[in-house]
Amino acid sequence: MSPLNLARVFLAAICSIATTGCSVAEKPIRPNLLVIQTDEHNFRTLGAYRDLLSDDQSFMWGEGIKVETPNIDWLAQNGVIADRAYATTPVCTPSRAAMMTGHYPQNTGSIKNDRPMWDHMVTYGEVLRRQGYATGYAGKWHLDGPGKPQWEPKRRFGWEDNRYMFNRGHWKNLTIEKDGPRVGAMNKNGGPDYALAGADEESFTTDFLTNRTIEFIREHSHEEFAYHVCIPDPHGPNTVRAPYDTMYTDLEFELPKSASAGHDLPEYAATKPYKFNPKILSQYFGMVKCIDDNIGRIIETLREEGVLENTIIVFTSDHGDLLGEHGRDNKGVPMEGSARIPFIMHAPGIVTPGTIVHEPFGTVDFKPTLLALMGVEDLSANEGRDYSAFFTAGEIPTDWEHLTFIRNGGHTLTAAGEYTPDNGWIGAFGSRYKLVFASNAAPVLFDLYEDPHELTNLIDSPAHRHIVREFAQSLKNYAESNQEPHLDSLQVQADFAWALSDQVAYSN
């Protein structure tokens, strides 16, 4: 039993003896939950992660080039930071589906962007709703199909107060009209637009969603609550309100080392012709700073309401952003800047402050891990695993597999009405090595300790042949157990056959 639960049992016993009317004896206190999720967030922009990295990795865009993030760092210093957290698929919709449901994206209906999640999926929000929590969601959802912005989707999936949930879009200016929330910027055709349109500390989307979060906390601080707010920044378009728009314009940004040409790597890892734009980075940094300042406001609200010490706060993102690494931006590839995400949890009485979790895990593991840490019974099925023992220094199962499985793509519907494998990939990621098989490229093995920039493919290295075989066997077990569509790819089939054979040199 965790220290927090022991304390609650003791408190309940004291109250039961002291008075027959003590509410704690009748209803044990359970932790509240606040999940703060950003979109397309490079983990290296956070001080808490820079502290764990070499200078070479911390300052990817030049020596000393950084954003100060004291509030997010405070969560890490007083909680847990996971330095090997990954998006199970580093693309918006499938990553969110995995996080919400504990299932791999191919088994949720949301295998690709804009694919609606199946009706029968049970989210962690629905589990908490059934347990009596007041639940709410604000911000980007991206699990209800192509609707954009599509406010307050009809299918709530457990999020009872979803007035400020919108399905899609990276809007910069939001407002509340008589008939509900709206995008505050319009294009020439009268439709919603991504323009700043004079957004200020009330209407800029990060501030707007923070205000809605604060309102929910104040309204429900007297009861058990669970709230998920998804801020659509620092995803592009790379614009931010004043004064954040000029805070970093004087920095001399440099191109990341991995953007240099000449490396013998598959297309998804090889450097592309890249037009470096320092202004984009200055605005990205400004968005991160705005997010951190608003998280400070949320923490202070929890403190004022007297619930900070009984609220689990999770800070994470749906996927990363390469920001120039390997000569590209955005996400979708298995490289660290794309697939690795920030994951920080502040959970007083449940986790030891300053804990660092080095075990690799994916967004598919979020739901079972979170609910276990909260002490909430989850009767729904999960394909992800419960990592709570790593967060609490508990006993790790003897048969634990120290890998997480990351994927992208799936089946494409042809004109003939048949499904064929598309140009995606699957990978087994460990704390040191990662093995990736693709349907249209040669496999790769990276050693993240010796080669953190991911520039050297070790797939043909005799010294690493046992790593390839071990990881490939685990990857195949995952694929066969979880209906992985890339198993239908002839290239992937051939790569598995080679990897599990006694042949040393790769020949496919």
Answer yes or no: is pLDDT of 449 > 90: yes
Stated as kind and residue range, the H or E segment containing 208 is helix 205-220
Q: Which two tokens stand for residue 229?
A: 């707010």
Token output for 23 = 């509410």
Question: Is the CB of residue 449 less than 8 Å from the CB of residue 431?
Answer: no
Question: Residue 271: its pLDDT value, please?
Answer: 76
CB 136 within 8 A of CB 162: yes
Q: Coil, helix or strand for 112?
A: coil
Is the pLDDT reported for residue 357 higher than 80? Answer: yes
Q: For position 6, what pLDDT does the model report?
A: 41
Helices marked H in 258-399 — which ranges? 278-304, 336-339, 366-374, 388-392
**Would you state the pLDDT for residue 13?**
42
287 torsion bin: left (phi>0), alpha (psi -120 to 50), beta (else): alpha
Burial of 306 (0-12, 13-18, 19+ CB in 10 A): exposed
In one letter, which amino acid is 162? Answer: N
Structure tokens given for 471: 């990881």
The percentage of the chain sitting over the pLDDT mark of 70, rounded to a whole number, equals 92
By mean pLDDT, which of 218-227, 255-264, 450-459 is the weakest?
255-264
Token pair belonging to 261: 């040409």
Reported pTM? 0.93
Bridge partners of 293? none
Residue 351 has φ and ψ, to the nearest 5°, of: -120, 155
The reported pLDDT for the residue numbered 401 is: 96
Please count the other Cβ atoms lying within 10 Å of the Cβ belonging to residue 464. 16
Do the beta carbons of residue 183 and residue 205 sit within 8 Å? no
Phi-psi region of 437 (alpha: psi -120 to 50; beta: other; left: phi over 0): beta
Q: How far apart (Å, rounded) are the C-alpha atoms in residues 356 and 421?
A: 38
User: How do residues 28-40 score in pLDDT, each as one tens digit?
Assistant: 589 999 999 999 9
DSSP string, 46-110: SHHHHTTS-HHHHTTTSTT-----HHHHHHHHTSEEETTEE-SSSSHHHHHHHHHHSS-GGGTS-
Instruction: Check whether 186 has a pLDDT greater than 50.
Output: yes
Tens of pLDDT along 361-386?
Answer: 999 999 999 999 999 999 999 999 99
Distance CA 117, CA 96 (A): 10
Cα separation, 494 vs 505, whole angstroms: 14
User: Using CA atoms, how far apart are residues 385 and 401, in angstroms rounded to an integer?
Assistant: 10
Span 187-222, pLDDT tens digits: 999 999 999 999 999 999 999 999 999 999 999 999
Q: Dig out the tokens for 388 from the structure.
A: 């709570």
CA 2 – CA 389 distance, rounded (Å): 11
Question: What is the average pLDDT across 327-338?
Answer: 94
Q: What is the pLDDT of residue 371?
A: 98
pLDDT the model gives residue 349: 95
Position 251 confidence tier, pLDDT thresholds 50, 70, 90: very high
Q: Report pLDDT digits (tens) over 141-155.
A: 999 999 999 999 999
Question: In this predicted model, what pLDDT tens digit does every residue of 460-487 receive, in sequence order?
Answer: 999 999 999 999 999 999 999 999 999 9
| Alpha-carbon separation of residue 75 from 46, 170, 286, 353, 478 (angstroms) | 11, 26, 20, 9, 33
pLDDT exceeds 60 at position 417? no
Q: Tell me if residue 186 falls in helix, strand or coil.
A: strand
- Model pLDDT for residues 270-329, shown as the tens digit of each residue: 877 788 899 999 999 999 999 999 999 999 999 999 999 999 999 999 999 999 999 999
Provide the residue count of the chain.
508
Averaged pLDDT score across all residues of the chain = 92
Nearby residues of 107 by Cβ (< 8 Å), 6 or more positions away: 383, 482, 483
405 burial (CB, 10 Å; 0-12 / 13-18 / 19+) is buried
The closest alpha carbon to 450, from 466, 434, 436, 438, belongs to 434
- Please report which confidence band the pLDDT of residue 266 belongs to, taking 50, 70 and 90 as the band edges: confident
The pLDDT of residue 276: 86
Is residue 212 within 8 A of residue 199, CB to CB? The reply is no
Burial label, 426 (beta-carbon count in 10 A; 0-12, 13-18, 19+): buried
Distance CA 80, CA 355 (A): 5
What are 155-181's pLDDT values in tens digits? 999 999 999 999 999 999 999 999 999
102/107 Cα distance (integer angstroms): 10
Q: Is the pLDDT of residue 15 over 90?
A: no
